[in-house]
């Protein structure tokens, strides 16, 4: 198992961007898993606008579908963190509870990157990403259900408490993920609507590899996933260490030893929110993430607690759904620009 540690490599671009800028009964994890909605479904969060036959008024819900999207990055859940990449299970649960209370609804990286963000009016997308395939993130017990205390079990529990909070996430894996050599863990994730993403087979630093080595590392990671889930379409890549290859285009598409890949999005380590996939400044080759972190500690100003505070204090900056999947609403006064291929759907108000 490779665990990222230390200061990430080559996150300068995202760091500079950051500088500029109710409860129901608590079901057991297996019961929560049984309540999972079909992939792509969602229910309105408690503070979202009620549904009606007429399309919601974008101004009434403060819609801004060119706004920023937090893509949160997690590694290990441990009771005694040993690096800034670790979180306690209690802190992880508290962050999910905060997201649900503030009207965020999880989407996968692939859904985000391809603009398949079908949320109730007034809701905000958030992407939950997990690197390295660590067993503290997800493991199956003898009963075939997620092991209590793992990140996915906690996510299912929070989602059961907040019906509008979709229990989906994107998990970026290396060889032998989640201590499940037979691939059962990956099949469970696929069957329950989670995204399985590539993190290279050997957690390769792509910045130090030549062009052939970059493609070999990425293609090998994809083969590892597809051995367990042969018909699965791997759609996104998270760069190990956040290291960008010298030819950045090779992170997005390429091939080696008979395996080709083409991704909708490549995630950095990053230090700030990501642009809307409909915005002119969206770049699928270098999409930033926010490290999940308490408000204090090393580089805490780039962490999730601080960024979520900033987005809450300036809600007009964050992506807020207009409730109409085929319409991209944004305030004309915000000075935002849609990408050229979305101008036919973009509506300023």
> Residue 54 has what pLDDT?
85
Place of tokens 């080759």: 285
From CA 99, how far away is CA 300, in angstroms rounded? Answer: 18
Are residues 44 and 172 in contact, defined by beta-carbon separation less than 8 angstroms? Answer: no
Instruction: Give the residue, 7 or 299, on which the prediction is more confident.
Output: 299
**For the chain, what is the mean pLDDT?**
88
> Three-state DSSP class for 329?
strand
CA Rg value for the chain: 19
State the average pLDDT over residues 201-206.
98
Instruction: Give the residue, 332 or 3, on which the prediction is more confident.
Output: 332
From CA 294, how far away is CA 314, in angstroms rounded? Answer: 20
Are residues 237 and 264 in contact, defined by beta-carbon separation less than 8 angstroms? Answer: no
Q: 3-class secondary structure for 52-81?
A: CCCCCCHHHHCCECCCEECEEEECEECCCC
pLDDT digits 0-9 by tens, 60-100: 999 999 999 999 999 999 999 999 999 999 999 999 999 99
pLDDT digits 0-9 by tens, 22-63: 333 334 433 333 333 443 444 444 444 444 478 899 999 999
Confidence of residue 163 (pLDDT cuts 50, 70, 90): very high
Confidence of residue 270 (pLDDT cuts 50, 70, 90): confident
From CA 122, how far away is CA 170, in angstroms rounded? Answer: 23
pLDDT of residue 121 exceeding 50: yes
């Amino acid at each position: 198992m490779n665990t990222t540690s230390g200061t990430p490599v080559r996150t300068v671009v995202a760091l500079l961007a950051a500088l500029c800028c109710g409860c129901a009964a608590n079901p057991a994890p297996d019961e929560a898993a049984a309540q999972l909605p079909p992939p792509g479904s969602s229910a309105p969060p408690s503070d979202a606008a009620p549904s009606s036959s007429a399309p919601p008024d974008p101004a009434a819900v403060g819609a801004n579908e060119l706004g920023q999207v937090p893509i949160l990055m997690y590694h290990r859940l441990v009771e005694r963190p040993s690096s800034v990449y670790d979180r306690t299970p209690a802190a992880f649960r508290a962050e999910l509870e905060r997201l649900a209370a503030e009207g965020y609804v999880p989407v996968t990286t692939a859904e985000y990157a391809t603009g398949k963000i079908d949320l109730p009016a007034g809701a905000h997308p958030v992407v939950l990403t997990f690197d390295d395939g660590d067993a503290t993130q997800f493991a199956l017990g003898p009963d075939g259900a997620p092991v209590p205390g793992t990140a996915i079990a906690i996510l299912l529990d929070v989602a059961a408490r907040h019906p509008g909070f979709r229990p989906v996430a994107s998990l970026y894996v290396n060889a032998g993920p989640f201590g499940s050599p037979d691939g059962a863990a990956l099949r469970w994730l696929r069957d329950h609507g989670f995204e399985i993403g590539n993190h290279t087979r050997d957690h390769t630093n792509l910045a130090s590899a030549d062009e052939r080595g970059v493609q070999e590392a990425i293609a090998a990671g994809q083969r590892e996933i597809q051995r367990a889930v042969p018909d699965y379409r791997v759609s996104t890549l998270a760069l190990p260490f956040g290291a960008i290859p010298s030819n950045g285009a090779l992170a997005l598409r390429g091939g080696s030893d008979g395996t080709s890949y083409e991704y909708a999005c490549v995630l950095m380590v990053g230090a700030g929110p990501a642009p809307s996939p409909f915005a002119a400044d969206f770049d699928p080759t270098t999409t930033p993430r926010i490290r999940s972190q308490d408000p204090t500690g090393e580089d805490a100003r780039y962490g999730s607690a601080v960024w979520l505070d900033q987005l809450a204090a300036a809600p007009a900056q964050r992506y807020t759904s207009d409730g109409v999947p085929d319409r991209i609403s944004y305030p004309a006064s915000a000075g935002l620009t849609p990408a050229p291929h979305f101008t036919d759907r973009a509506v300023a108000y």
